[in-house]
Every structure is written in structure tokens, then in C-alpha cells.
Chain A
Amino acid sequence: MNCKDIKEALHAFCDGEASSLEKKIIEEHLLYCASCKEEVAKIKASLSLLKAQEPYSAPQGFTKETMLLIKEKQEYREARDEEGIPVDFVLSSMFFFARGLWRGVSFLKYLPHPAYSFRRRRLYLSW
């Protein structure tokens, strides 16, 4: 296996996430490849930089602000529930329902006439 193929697996190797086969291949490769050894050193240095990040704390007054936000949302929800369904919403949905129903009914005229289909069925049976 050459260095190019091994490069991606080196990161998993440094994270302890390489499979046992990958681990064996990489360990053997590192015995004679100086550039991959250097790559591993670079990755390990980056790991220590990334792990050393200091945690950030939530800003002051965060809990109070969040509780206020939750109360606001709750009050809004309750007010909406008390109001019930808005009239304009009911009217518009009734309009669209009626229009859909009308279109559905008017589509029936494109269907074959029942008498015609009956004749066809008879014809088919006589065969």
C-alpha cells in the first residue's frame, strides 16, 4: 500500500478507530516511511490543539431570558387555542372543499356512458 492510499486511514489510526487490519498495515508502513511518520506527528499535534479548546459559558441572565421566552411562547399558544379556529380559515377551507367537490363531480362526464359499457361487456361475453 502506498502513502496516498494510507493518508485517510492515518486519521482513523490516530483516533484509535482503525480496524485491526488497517492498524496492522499502517504500523508496518510506518516502520519504513518517514513522510507518513511525519504526517502522524502532525495529526497528533493537531489533536492536542483541538482537544485543548477551553469551554465557553452561557451568557449572564441566560436562564431568566430563556424562561421568559418559554412563557411568552406558552402564552401565545394558549391565546391561540382559546381563540379557536379563525373564521377566515374556516371560510377559505370551505371554499376550496366545495371547489374540489365540484371539479370531482364535473369530471364524471368524461367517464364512459354506463349503457355503452354494458353493451361492450355483453359483446365480450358473446365471444
Chain B
Amino acid sequence: MTDNELIEGFLWGDEELFEKIIDNHKDYVYNLCYSFVKNREDARDISQQVFVKIYTGLRDFDTARPFRPWLRRVVVNTCIDFFRERGDLEDLSLDDVHEAVGAVNPSVLKGLVAKDVVDKVLASMPVQYRMALSLRHLEEMSYSEIAESLDIPIGTVKTLIYRAREMFIKRYEGITEEL
């Protein structure tokens, strides 16, 4: 059964189909949430919130359209709400790119493989940068799609990605030199 068939069945009253919808998309939602928040507990809570929202919001979903982009939008919006509540979404200045390299404590990273180092470096970065990089590399979205998804101008996306990668490169190089 395709996503949209499952959704139609659920909307016709077959509640059990929602379990299948969760099963099909839980890893995708969790992974995307984790890439934004970089914390397993928070990622689990937000993913659950996403499915609770979807349960009530599926009535507004147009079944003629693909489900994944709609789902991604719900995930992004839920994560933005989460960051807003925590006060993590503050304006960033250009100086952030040039701030101290050692924002990640290298002693934490001993014995970790490159993948985990990348994870720790991303976790040390500001939320907006992390979101822009995740949407670009995990979701393979174009700049215009990211702009639409985050509701910001395309010029801002370009700057965000530039600053985020500059920060990532500096921090990653700094850590690998120290290790």
C-alpha cells in the first residue's frame, strides 16, 4: 500500500492504518529531528509530537500530492517551535564564523570515529546552521526548497550555508589537528 492509500484508508476510519504510517516514516522523522536537535531524548519527543500533529492534521492533507514533503514541513515546523520555546532561535552575526575553534572539547572526542566527530561538531553549532546543513545534505534539498521550507529569502539561505560550512570546516580542522 502506498502512503496516500494508507492515508485515505485512515481518513475513512481505519485507525489501525495509522500505525503503519508511523512504522513507514518513524526512522525518517526521527533521523531528521535528530539532525536538528542532536539529542536522542529530544528527537524522540519531537518525533512523537510530529505524529500526534499528523494524526489530527491529516484531514487537511491533499492525497493527490506526495506525503513526504508535507511530512517534512510538519517536522521542520515542530522543530522550529521547539527551538523557539527554548529560545535557541536568536539572530546570528557574522562574527560567529570566526569565533574560537575549540567549541567542542577534544577530550570528549578521543576514540571516536570520523562520523562521530562530525556529529559532535554539528552539535556544537548554532541551530540555524545545523538546520540549513541538514536540509541541504540529508534531504538533498535545493536552496530554493530550503528557503521555502524555512520561510526565509534564498539570499539568506546562501549566507546561512556559507557561514555554516565555514564554521564546520574551522571546527573540524581544529579538532582533527588537536587529536
Measured CB to CB, the residues of A under 8 A from B are 7-8, 11-12, 15, 17, 42-43, 46-47, 49-59, 62-63, 65-67, 69-70, 73
Contact = CB atoms under 8 A, between A and B. Distances in A.
A66 B18 CA distance: 10
Contact residues of B: prevailing secondary structure: helix
A105 B152 CA distance: 48
The contact size tier of chain B is 35 or more
Contacts, number: 90
Contacts of B169: 42-43, 46
B19 A67 contact: yes
A15 B136 contact: yes
B22 A66 contact: yes
Given A12-B162, A56-B27, 18 more contacts: A7-B162, A11-B158, A11-B162, A15-B136, A15-B161, A46-B168, A46-B172, A50-B137, A55-B138, A56-B43, A57-B30, A58-B26, A59-B40, A62-B30, A62-B47, A66-B48, A67-B18, A67-B19
Nearest to B142: A17
A73 B52 contact: yes
